[in-house]
Structure 1
């Protein structure tokens, strides 16, 4: 059994994690949140108390921390006595935080793959460039490290495993992410603009025919017939989960599809063609060195500020095809979140909600020993059943549609 949690980060996803951890602090113990800017961490705690989210009376403290400093992260872990770290800071800090967890022997989890600020779209598999190099170290230390436990990556990986367990052979895994909501702004991204744009400026990698296929962003589009939000156009995109699912299901085609409106595509294309999405520094006429991508981030709305006026729903689904007893099988597993409902509960919009709730579910399973496996894993390598059941009870129910109908996915364990 592990107790006491440190949340690293103080953005929209961290706010969701903080609220959900508070709602389950009877299982998780003392709570702590750390950010480079102490005031941001304190504001998250204040929002928790404003909504009386703490299930039982307990500790919730804020700390200032440079998460790029492994020694500082390790020192904080030791000082406050936590046994679980939920890293929802920038993907740039993954490896320093992971190293600190290995050093101190505490459980680690994150919601996105590590990124080097100076590089975009490295060679696949992306996990092989950083996290997977620490597999032996985590196992030697007996440290549970759960990679990519947001929604995508995260829940969609769990669904892929759940669907695969229903089949004798898996032929394809297609992940579809649609945001049918509206934030009312001329242009904004739903999470960190720098990370958002980095996802879509490089090569689109998918795993097809037992090898990596390369395409350009917005080159391949498809309309998907979806529950709740209806027919929706999505584009083949590069994404984290493709890089682990392809390793665990090498005989299946693995693709990720993201929904984009024409307005987003037009603005994105203009910014890219002007060089404003470059991660490489340039020098202005005044002699100032700036990174264009960081300038764009600075002038766009902070994603956390979008929540109060956000309306509509998200729809994320896995379409998995395969064989069972020699016959073709197709399964869709999905979830829909409501932006307004998310804001009313935790003060964040639906996309942050879907990313934050799964990390807390995983923390609860680690605390209870169910997912405390003492090594590094991607989510599809864990038993999906207790996780899906838990998500059903804490805000993100999973539904399945197959030849038996459309219903809640629930397991008897």
Structure 2
């Protein structure tokens, strides 16, 4: 039996989610998409219809919604008969949407950790500051909430779990995210600039030797020879998945590494040095209060506008190191995505594609019961095999590289 879906958000990731839900609406049923800007939702609906993405006949509707209004969100969930909510709006919405799902008694999925507009890099583990405080409520009601089920966090959490299951002991999980694509702009971010910069302006928290370690952005780097994209330098960064994997997998070292070009680092450094990446309000000479980070966001290209001219590929995966049968072993479990292929299929660039496909796979598993956890979980707490199998089928194939070679991963 299919389960109807409400998508909250109308950016590039939401566009991918809508297309993929439509392509699998025999499992996911009727689809509603809602955001503050109705026209953006209508554009996504038009895009889905233009590409003939609906697998079977069904409803695909657009709605205007302020998702910070819990009552309004509850009303829309009930009006649309939605049983699964996929939240791909701004990270500031998570707790409000979660509250609405608890009240309406439906499943909740998101792709990023909750943030408060005036706070950056709160004390780790970040999930304990907000989401995990609601876990008992989901469990008491027998409702499923799957946190951070994009790619990173999300798929990389499943890769970490898979790597741990493959080895006898695990010493470290190092998540590496490289975008070797080119959008042709002087400077732009691949997703919401405000959220993007907030990741990199605060403390870089990593989990090392079973304890939290603090570093500055761009302080620690590594270079790896990666499949398809070649030799790439990445920098240790603070990121959501470190804050759940460190608590759930019992691994001594969990780190996240992201690739940045020299040009990005230079522009970022100038903006930060001038105070233009601050989330705290300032007063202009005209007496107008502004938040510098929001001004920068307003003048940068909309990430969804990058899609038509984006070329190149991404490579995102996990190096999992430990022992097997008494011998040291390291595996690299990864995915490679192509920006142009993503645009041709769903009208979004590869970063949005990798973030938007996984929550649809998770929603399908909730609908069929395989991931209907009936409590709040992070992805690594679930069986990764059915998740990887669906991802293989709907656009994000998984591969593994180790001493035995480079090969696809499947559990069919």
Structure-2-length-normalised TM-score = 0.99
Q: Tell me what 2:35 maps to.
A: 35
Contact kept, 8 Å, 2:145 with 2:376, in 1: the verdict is yes
Residue 140 of structure 2 corresponds to residue 170 of structure 1: no
Structure 2: 5+ residue runs without aligned partners?
Answer: none
RMSD after superposition: 0.8
Contact kept, 8 Å, 1:180 with 1:314, in 2: the verdict is yes
Structure-1-length-normalised TM-score = 0.99
Deviation at residue 325 of structure 1 after TM alignment: 2.3
Contact kept, 8 Å, 2:173 with 2:251, in 1: the verdict is no
Distance 1:373 1:180 in 2: 36
Distance 2:364 2:210 in 1: 36
Matches within 5 A, 1:51-200: 51-200=51-200
Contact kept, 8 Å, 1:334 with 1:399, in 2: the verdict is yes
Distance 2:320 2:232 in 1: 18
Deviation at residue 398 of structure 1 after TM alignment: 0.2
**Moved segments of 4+, more than 6 Å:** none
Matches within 5 A, 1:307-346: 307-346=307-346
Distance 2:132 2:302 in 1: 32
Aligned with 1:255: secondary structure? strand
Distance 2:322 2:143 in 1: 34
Deviation at residue 79 of structure 1 after TM alignment: 1.3
Measured against aligned partners, the alpha-carbon deviations of 1:183-226 in whole angstroms (never above 9, x if no partner) come to 00000000000000000000000000010010000001111110
Deviation at residue 252 of structure 1 after TM alignment: 2.4
Matches within 5 A, 1:209-248: 209-248=209-248
Aligned with 2:320: secondary structure? strand
Aligned with 2:99: secondary structure? helix
Q: Tell me what 1:357 maps to.
A: 357
Q: Tell me what 1:21 maps to.
A: 21
Aligned with 1:17: secondary structure? helix
Q: Tell me what 2:368 maps to.
A: 368
Deviation at residue 328 of structure 1 after TM alignment: 1.2
Matches within 5 A, 1:284-323: 284-323=284-323
Deviation at residue 2 of structure 1 after TM alignment: 5.6
Q: Tell me what 1:278 maps to.
A: 278
Distance 2:250 2:206 in 1: 12
Structure 1: 5+ residue runs without aligned partners?
Answer: none
Distance 1:370 1:250 in 2: 24
Measured against aligned partners, the alpha-carbon deviations of 1:80-111 in whole angstroms (never above 9, x if no partner) come to 11100000000000000011111111000000
Aligned with 2:166: secondary structure? coil
